[in-house]
Structure 1
Amino acid sequence: MPKRGGGRIKNWKTDNDHFEHDDRTHNPRRVSFKPGTNKGKNKFNNWNKNAKLLLDDDVDMGLSGGQGPRKPFRGRGGRLGSPAPRPRHAGKKFTPGMLPWYQIVIPYGAKHEKDVILRALLNFTSPDIFIPHYYRINGNAAIFYVDDVKSAENLFNADKKIVMPDGFKMVVIVKNAVPNVNVDANMKEKMKLVMAKRYNPATKALDMTKFHSDSDLSEIFCGLFRPVIMLTAIDIIAENIPDIEALNLNDNKLHGLDHLKVMATKLKNLKILYLGDNRIPVVGSLESLRNLPLVELMLKGNPLRNRFNDHDDYVSTVRKKFPKLVRLDGVDLPPAIGFDVAEDVALPAQQQSFLIEPAAQDFVRQFLAQYFAVYDSESRQSLMDAYHENATMSMTTSYLTHDIRNSPSTKLHQYLPNSRNILRITDRESRRRYLRTGKLQVVAFICDLPKTTHDLMGFAVDVLIYTPTMIMVSMNGVFKETASQGSRSFHRTFMIVPNNGGGFCIVNDMLFITNTTKEQEEKMFQSGVPAAAPTPVAATTSAPAPAPAPAPAASEALHSEHHRMLLNALGQQTGMNDYWSMNCLQETGWDLQKAMFIFNKLQSEGKIPHEAFVK
């Protein structure tokens, strides 16, 4: 009966030691992690951090059927090196590794010819086939590599399932490992010869599809997914064929592409790039290639394609990185919508204001000065003459940021109830209700807004349309509320048309109010040059300059005794002064019943200001 702890097993290493014993019956030692045994903090956090760290170093993963390197076992009462106890569950399960290559070790494979071993393995995996790479004898073991997980799993399942001619069962050990490589002058010369064979000078195209499987590289490992090898290949291309325009890198198990950013400086003429059937995980991995002037790109067969449910979204995302792309995955793309502008075209110099016609300068200065002089006064009733009979006005307001809503000086509660934000107000009737129509409603609404003082010196004004029949003025600036002294920023657009009296009036008024920025607050009321009188710019074409004229006097509207009687009647029934009564009658076509109806409606809504009743 054998002694407990007897029988030392010699450990083997792939690259150095030899198999001295026919050890075909041992089972791997099971590994378990018990709670409390790992005292190191985050000991294994970096294991899956980045597979490319393993690819740049000649590191053997040591994965042999899911087991790590064996260590000498000290049996109970025995000596160091005693056999490990047999595990309770002898079944093994194949676990795919994170590297794209697998090392196949056949212990004692040196006793058989290469053809005998490979034929036996191929018969077992049939109908599936595998391609053995870099077959060699290391001591008593035969070693080769496969480059796909399916072949590795089939060979893993062949362990001790094949009976060799000498009656022993073949042991097959599968390890997730990349072949060692030393990039020396000899390897560079072989790579150069293979590239020369695959280069087409007529089309300036280099085909490096599945480069490592080329028959002329059967004795050395030349996987382009390893950064050191890929960078060597790029250097060879840049040195020997710098004018290359097309490069095919399909089926090379490429994963990380960060190191490929050097292609933009070394291969400046590259316009066609094939990266199909690789392992590129996300579109963001292509960021390192965006400086290449690519017009055709192949990405079919990469995991990144599966991240898009919509093909148009996929095309749009790729095109954002490569704007000049006209062909993607073998399909011609529709023309991109954009402007074909030379890259060296300089943008016009920035200026505070813009005038489509220099003659508009005087008009804009007078208009804004008169309008805001009344707007910032104690009574805004005189603005009635500034608006068209059928004028419309809308106001929108919102906060710049969410963190300023609770500050008393920045609250916009006086504007928010009347804000016509059509992104939030989707109901058609609500949208109509927040739109002021007719100059009576417009001025009544303006009179209800807080009293203000505008910084006339800080206005930025754009005159986008200036014709005899229409003027469009777009402007922005800042103001302070008289009561709260709160600072506000605004943007306003006026559509101005001629009126019947030879002057001009506002037919559409759009107002946006928000909080001021810190920079705006620091510059408020500090400027010494009125921005409402912008610096003239060069004119391209001359347009007739409509001259401003004062609105007709209120007395001219009372051209008949009948109108005076209606005015007195409305004033007695409503209590409004003559100015507001007259405008109410003018807006209703001097129809007393309609005027009374509008008055009662606005009065019930509280929209008629106190100034309307001051006589």
Structure 2
Amino acid sequence: MINPHFVLQDNTDLKKEGSLTSQKNFLCDVRGYDFVDEFVPLYFKAFDSNERQSLKELYQRNAMLTVSFNYHIAQMTSQNFRRISKYRENSRNILKMSDLSRAHTTIHLGSDQIMQTFLQLPSIRHDLLTFSTDTTIYNDKIIVITISGVFYDQAPSMMDNDILMAFTRSFVLTPVEKHQGILGRAIKYQICNEQLSIYNPTAQQTKKAFKYFKTEGQNNDDEVTVADKEALIIMFQEVTNLKWVWCTR
């Protein structure tokens, strides 16, 4: 144990349990499962598509976005420099600012400014299977979701390569309309604050990135292959922490 005086965490006695195992996903309240399960694929599917502008309706009119870009490329060609400059010019990394006045101008206020920022970014493709989703707050007043994973900055031409990047996005959502739906029990949430951080992926993230994606020509109706089954078992094992034999059964 790193700190011998640190013996209790989240009401768990570390002296009895030993070191705690990390979880891929965390949900503070099971009631939030359906919300997160719908929000995450919907948001990132729209972000990766040609309809990124449609995300505007998910943001409040006075929403705020900040971006931190801390990505380094070993071989910085002129083409790669131009590609990542789109991220860097929107970054609010104060430690790398020569002009501190940009600390104010790089805060993107309002859904219109946020959409302008998103539309300036290159074409992106996220790998949802690498996502770790932590829902730390879920109630009728506020929802806080933090998502980490990887995405490809997609090559603008066949002569270039995709650039793998890691990210963390924190969304803060608050209710804007209540008593929705047929029974009047639904609540409409919108994003009021978002923080986006982009950085280099770890070796483990690089190894798993886009490993289990189907090819574009493969339909959902295609026969499930052995590779598909193995990928499903691996994902199931990561979520449950069960041994391989039990996951297979």
Q: Mark yes or no: TM-score above 0.5.
A: yes
| 2:204 counterpart letter in structure 1 | E
* 1:499, distance to aligned residue in structure 2 (A): 1.7
The reply on whether 1:344 has 2:21 as its aligned counterpart is no
| 1:496/1:405 CA distance change after superposition, 3 Å | farther
Runs of 4+ in 1 over 6 A off after TM superposition: none
| 1:343/1:445 CA distance change after superposition, 3 Å | closer
SS at match of 1:413: helix
* 1:407, distance to aligned residue in structure 2 (A): 5.6
Number of residue pairs matched by the alignment: 198
- Determine the structure 2 residue equivalent to 1:418: 90
| 1:488 counterpart letter in structure 2 | M
| 1:344 counterpart letter in structure 2 | K
| 1:507 counterpart letter in structure 2 | C
CA RMSD of aligned residues (A): 3.0
- Determine the structure 1 residue equivalent to 2:153: 481
| 2:76 counterpart letter in structure 1 | N
| 1:511 counterpart letter in structure 2 | L
Of 74, 77, 88 in structure 2, the residue corresponding to residue 404 of structure 1 is: 74
Of 516, 521, 529 in structure 1, the residue corresponding to residue 206 of structure 2 is: 521
- Determine the structure 2 residue equivalent to 1:510: 195
- Determine the structure 1 residue equivalent to 2:171: 494
TM-score for both structures, normalised by structure 1: 0.30
Within-5 A mapping of 1:137-156: none
Separation (CA, whole Å) in 2 of partners of 1:427 and 1:467: 40
Within-5 A mapping of 1:445-594: 445-484=117-156, 485-500=162-177, 502-527=187-212, 528=231
Q: Tell me which structure has the larger Cα radius of gyration.
A: 1
> Would the aligned equivalents of 2:148 and 2:167 in 1 still touch at CA under 8 Å?
yes
* 1:361, distance to aligned residue in structure 2 (A): 1.7
> Would the aligned equivalents of 1:404 and 1:410 in 2 still touch at CA under 8 Å?
no
| 1:519/1:356 CA distance change after superposition, 3 Å | same
Separation (CA, whole Å) in 2 of partners of 1:405 and 1:396: 21
Separation (CA, whole Å) in 2 of partners of 1:499 and 1:526: 39
Separation (CA, whole Å) in 1 of partners of 2:147 and 2:141: 20
Separation (CA, whole Å) in 2 of partners of 1:426 and 1:503: 41
| 1:405/1:422 CA distance change after superposition, 3 Å | farther
- Determine the structure 2 residue equivalent to 1:264: none
SS at match of 2:102: helix
| 1:474/1:343 CA distance change after superposition, 3 Å | closer
* 1:427, distance to aligned residue in structure 2 (A): 6.4
Of 113, 120, 123 in structure 2, the residue corresponding to residue 441 of structure 1 is: 113
The reply on whether 1:395 has 2:67 as its aligned counterpart is yes
SS at match of 1:414: helix
Separation (CA, whole Å) in 1 of partners of 2:149 and 2:78: 22
| 2:194 counterpart letter in structure 1 | D
Deviations 1:566-611 (A, max 9, x none): xxxxxxxxxxxxxxxxxxxxxxxxxxxxxxxxxxxxxxxxxxxxxx
* 1:504, distance to aligned residue in structure 2 (A): 1.3
> Would the aligned equivalents of 2:7 and 2:15 in 1 still touch at CA under 8 Å?
no
SS at match of 1:397: strand
Structure 2: 5+ residue runs without aligned partners?
A: 157-161, 179-186, 213-230, 241-249
Within-5 A mapping of 1:205-224: none
* 1:488, distance to aligned residue in structure 2 (A): 1.1
| 2:155 counterpart letter in structure 1 | A
* 1:456, distance to aligned residue in structure 2 (A): 1.1
Structure 1: 5+ residue runs without aligned partners?
A: 1-319, 325-337, 537-615
Of 101, 109, 114 in structure 2, the residue corresponding to residue 429 of structure 1 is: 101
| 1:489/1:343 CA distance change after superposition, 3 Å | closer
SS at match of 1:361: helix
* 1:524, distance to aligned residue in structure 2 (A): 1.3
Greater relative contact order, per chain length (Cα 8 Å cut-off, separation 6+): 2
Separation (CA, whole Å) in 1 of partners of 2:169 and 2:76: 26
| 1:443 counterpart letter in structure 2 | M
Within-5 A mapping of 1:197-236: none
* 1:461, distance to aligned residue in structure 2 (A): 0.5
